[in-house]
């Protein structure tokens, strides 16, 4: 795989530290936190319906009595700079396929069902401590054959994150435990050592009992 200048040399992170006891330690994952979140393609399905509701609850559209189909989840995280400091007032813009793997987009050729009660798109801003959060459903995986490609896209949520003074990024969040990650051609474009930065850890929200996926995004200064 061709190395991108976005990714520092592995040697930087694999550097061994020798303690006073002579024990060699590898620098922890945290060292990678000095790197901006890897970018990913925007894909062809950025929402084309600007009039659509885009609040932080994607499972419910105002005026609808029914909720979106699928497994309700929470997606929460922080937007940080590459020193690990929170970025307040960053815009976090997400969009995703529905439970069936279909985007609510005029150009999506996937014949899987639409879900009239799924919002599919949400935009929010981070708070003082860089936190953001959405309630949504776990997106379905979708086959690439309708787009002329092989295989499947594993479950993912698209993200655009921006803030004045920082390089905006477009990326995708993946789900811990998704067996399709191994064959996904988009995450495969990110060097192996960095892929974990795009895979959200699953936890359980104590208050609601809902599955909670944690995804932090790191922006580099301009």
Active site residues: 103, 142, 153, 156, 158
Alpha-carbon distance of 89 to 184, in angstroms, equals 32
Backbone φ, ψ for residue 155 (5° rounding):
-60, 135
Closer residue to Fe ion (CB): 131 or 160: 160
Q: From the CB of 96, what's the least distance to Fe ion, in Å?
A: 7
Query: CA nearest 44: which of 216, 170, 189?
Result: 170
User: Whole-number minimum distance, CB 156 to Fe ion, in Å?
Assistant: 6
**Which of 43/191 has CB closer to Fe ion?**
43
What is the rounded CA–CA span in Å between residue 213 and residue 74?
A: 6
Least distance from C-beta 186 to Fe ion, angstroms?
Answer: 8
Task: Note the residues at the interface with Fe ion (CB under 5 A).
Answer: 43
With respect to Fe ion, which residue has the nearer C-beta, 43 or 133? Answer: 43
- Residues 107 and 152 sit within 8 Å (Cβ to Cβ): no
């Amino acid at each position: 795989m061709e190395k991108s200048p976005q990714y520092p040399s592995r040697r930087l992170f694999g550097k061994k530290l020798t303690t006073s006891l002579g024990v060699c330690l590898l620098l922890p994952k945290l060292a990678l936190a000095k790197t901006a979140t890897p970018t990913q393609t925007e894909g062809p399905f950025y929402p084309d319906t600007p009039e659509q509701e885009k609040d932080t609850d994607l499972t419910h559209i105002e005026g609808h009595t029914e909720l979106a189909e699928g497994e309700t989840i929470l997606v929460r995280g922080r937007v940080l700079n590459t020193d690990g400091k929170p970025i307040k007032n960053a815009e976090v813009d997400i969009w995703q396929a529905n439970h069936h793997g279909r985007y609510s987009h005029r150009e999506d050729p996937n014949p899987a069902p639409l879900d009239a009660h799924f919002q599919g798109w949400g935009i929010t801003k981070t708070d003082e401590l860089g936190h953001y959060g959405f309630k949504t459903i776990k997106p379905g995986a979708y086959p690439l054959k309708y787009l002329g490609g092989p295989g499947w896209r594993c479950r993912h949520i698209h993200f655009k994150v921006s803030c004045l003074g920082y390089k905006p990024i477009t990326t995708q969040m993946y789900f811990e435990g998704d067996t399709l990650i191994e064959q996904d051609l988009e995450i495969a474009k990110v060097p192996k050592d960095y892929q974990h930065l795009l895979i959200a850890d699953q936890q359980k929200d104590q208050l609601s009992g809902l599955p909670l996926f944690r995804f932090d995004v790191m922006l580099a200064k301009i």
